[in-house]
Amino acid sequence: MAEQIKLQIVQGRLPAGTQLPTVRELARTLGVTRVTVQMAYHELQNAGLVEATVGRGTFVSRHVEARPPAQSLGRQLTPDAVVNDILQLGQIAGLRSLADAAPDASLFPAQEFWQALDECRGEALEMVRYGASQGDPLLRVEVARLLQDRGMAVTPDEVLIVAGVTQGLALVAQALARPGEPVLVEQPTYLGFLHTLKAHGVQPLAVPLDEEGPIPEAVERLAIQQRPRFFYTVPTFQNPTGVCATPARRAQLLALAEQYGFLLVEDDLYARLSYEGPPPPAVKSLDRSESVIHVGGFSKLLMPGLRLGYVVAPPPIHERLLSLRRAMDLCSPPLLQRALARFLHEDGLKRHLRRVLPLYRQRRDALLAALRHHMPPAVQWTRPQGGFCVWLTLPRRSTLADLQQAALQQGWAFAPGEVFLTRPSPDYHLRLCFGAQPPEWIAQGVEVLANLIRERLDRQESVIEPPSDWLPLV
Ligand SMILES: Cc1ncc(COP(=O)(O)O)c(C=O)c1O
């Protein structure tokens, strides 16, 4: 009994502070004597896992750090399950992760941000009420100012603040497509949006990518055959490949959207994480026909826990999104929005990026160098100029089936490629992210992974063919 309760405590199923049943209740429920329960509780108490107070009861100790086991990850290969795994990674003991496209928490500009929060004290009365659904007016001014660097001339009134890009995209999916209707996505694409589309019952259709971005001929063919409602694209340092669409491709995509009457939904989340000079201007900056919805946010630039992003949409769609947003959660927290507005106003983001971009560039270089050094010749990968993601392509072999679990057993997590795809690939893929780990750990993780891959590819008797053509990526 003690072992079972202990397991539930250390895995976090009985969180710190939970009251355990009384001795009498548990004895009755389990059909054992009270002495048995008392002994189990004593054992847990001696191990420091529970605290008993006379007259109050027995509680899970506040000093227990619950950590689910690594084996709880990687059990299912659906976007939902993998997003859930990625969200849990930080809580798992002894695990290092190349799986999440996240910034490094230790680099957050905590001091400056707390100061911005502190400066909101004077406005406390305003901050404790519901805020405007469209978002804090000062934050909208700052976002409009920021968007100038992306080539966009936007007024604060055109900006809708949302709870992260995730909410922005969910609103867009809901506003633009009914269940069963087709939309276009890149192949591969951001797995979180595949989950959002599934939740709305919307049908994603795959547009292959090459090194210059989504392939226009494929977009045109699908536009003619399927009449999609919109094309969701991450043109700048895409997740999961890191690909950055060329200016020519951006113009071609926009021309196709205009010609065939679908909207382009541009996810610009990674654009400012650019390691080789300024990124190309946003597709929205070219939009003269109200064909582009632009979505961005602060999860990768600052901190995902802020849950703040923005949408700039053509006026009728903006109104629709605003109304849906009111139906969903009324507004984002006024206090966090105002603190972010102050932080941006004082150029905190620019200062932060000047500090972290060289570090992320170093990490990208460490990952690419380690891949060159350790990976067997049959493995290929993208070379991103920005963002956090590198996409690996391997020959598909049945021996690779346990790769994720084997890496987890050695203390390393990566994201399996399947979940970023809407149609099967002839190759095996995985995504490695370099933002959250220092270079020495990145090199070590790649070495572990390369050894596991080599072992598995060597197990095949047949000659290993190089993966299918570089163009398209998938
Ligand atoms: C392309 C892309 N869009 C959206 C998101 C989610 O962003 P947010 O945290 O702003 O909801 C992610 C997170 O990984 C992403 O990679």
Closest approach atom of ligand 1 to CA 308: 10
**Percent over 70 (pLDDT), the chain:** 95
Tally of CB atoms within 10 A around 8: 15
- DSSP assigned state of 465: P
pLDDT at 75 over 90: no
Q: Tell me which of 165-169, 286-290, 309-313, 468-472 is least confident.
A: 468-472
Q: How far is the CA of 61 from the centre of ligand 1 (A)?
A: 35
Residue of minimum CA distance from atom 7 in ligand 1: 165
The per-residue DSSP string of 33-66 comes to: -HHHHHHHHHHHHHTTSEEEETTTEEEE-TT---
Q: What is the mean pLDDT of residues 155-176?
A: 98
Residue of minimum CA distance from atom 4 in ligand 1: 165
pLDDT at 471 over 80: no
Q: How far is the CA of 165 from the centre of ligand 1 (A)?
A: 6
pLDDT in tens, 133-150: 999 999 999 999 999 999
Q: What is the mean pLDDT of residues 420-447?
A: 95
All domains of the chain in start order, with CATH: 2-60 (1.10.10.10), 72-106+356-458 (3.90.1150.10), 110-349 (3.40.640.10)
Q: How far is the CA of 167 from the centre of ligand 1 (A)?
A: 10
Q: What is the mean pLDDT of residues 431-453?
A: 96
List the one residue out of 300, 285, 295, 284 whose CA is nearest residue 325: 295
What does the pLDDT read at residue 72?
67
Q: What is the mean pLDDT of residues 287-313?
A: 97
What does the pLDDT read at residue 64?
76
Q: Which of 100, 239, 293, when mutated, tests ligand 1's pocket best, judged by the most ligand atoms within 8 Å of its CB?
A: 239
Q: How far is the CA of 295 from the centre of ligand 1 (A)?
A: 10
Angstrom distance (rounded) from CA 186 to CA 204: 9
What does the pLDDT read at residue 375?
97
- The chain-wide mean pLDDT, for the chain, equals 92
Q: What is the mean pLDDT of residues 28-38?
A: 94
What does the pLDDT read at residue 297?
98
The per-residue DSSP string of 402-444 comes to: THHHHHHHTTEE-EEGGGG-SS--SEEEEEEE-TTS-HHHHHH
pLDDT in tens, 189-203: 999 999 999 999 999
Q: Which of 191, 293, 299, when mutated, tests ligand 1's pocket best, judged by the most ligand atoms within 8 Å of its CB?
A: 299
Q: What is the mean pLDDT of residues 280-290?
A: 97
Closest approach atom of ligand 1 to CA 304: 9
Q: Which of 83, 97, 143, 166, when mutated, tests ligand 1's pocket best, judged by the most ligand atoms within 8 Å of its CB?
A: 166
Tokens, residue 441:
């750990």
What does the pLDDT read at residue 145?
98
Residues in contact with ligand 1 by the CB-under-6-Å rule are: 101, 164-166, 190, 192, 234, 239, 267, 269, 297, 299, 304, 309
Per-residue confidence at 70, pLDDT binned at 50, 70, 90? low
Q: What is the mean pLDDT of residues 208-224?
A: 97
pLDDT in tens, 92-136: 767 899 999 999 999 999 999 999 999 999 998 889 999 999 999
Q: What is the mean pLDDT of residues 265-293?
A: 97
Q: Which of 83, 97, 165, when mutated, tests ligand 1's pocket best, judged by the most ligand atoms within 8 Å of its CB?
A: 165
Report cis status (omega within 30 of 0) of the bond before 472. yes
What does the pLDDT read at residue 474?
47
Q: How far is the CA of 166 from the centre of ligand 1 (A)?
A: 6
Q: What is the mean pLDDT of residues 5-13?
A: 82
Closest approach atom of ligand 1 to CA 168: 11
The per-residue DSSP string of 126-194 comes to: HHTS---TT--HHHHHHHHHHHGGGT----GGGEEEESHHHHHHHHHHHHH--TT-EEEEEES--HHHH
Q: What is the mean pLDDT of residues 381-388?
A: 98
Closest approach atom of ligand 1 to CA 270: 1
pTM above 0.85, yes or no: yes
pLDDT at 290 over 90: yes
Angstrom distance (rounded) from CA 3 to CA 65: 17
pLDDT at 445 over 70: yes
pLDDT at 470 over 50: no
Q: How far is the CA of 231 from the centre of ligand 1 (A)?
A: 17
Q: How far is the CA of 68 from the centre of ligand 1 (A)?
A: 24
99, amino acid identity: A
pLDDT at 181 over 60: yes
- The residue that leads in pLDDT, 389 or 55, is 389
pLDDT in tens, 221-261: 999 999 999 999 999 999 999 999 999 999 999 999 999 99
What does the pLDDT read at residue 307?
97
What does the pLDDT read at residue 473?
54
Q: How far is the CA of 267 from the centre of ligand 1 (A)?
A: 8
Q: What is the mean pLDDT of residues 257-274?
A: 98
pLDDT at 373 over 70: yes
What does the pLDDT read at residue 345?
97
Per-residue confidence at 472, pLDDT binned at 50, 70, 90? low
Q: What is the mean pLDDT of residues 392-407?
A: 92
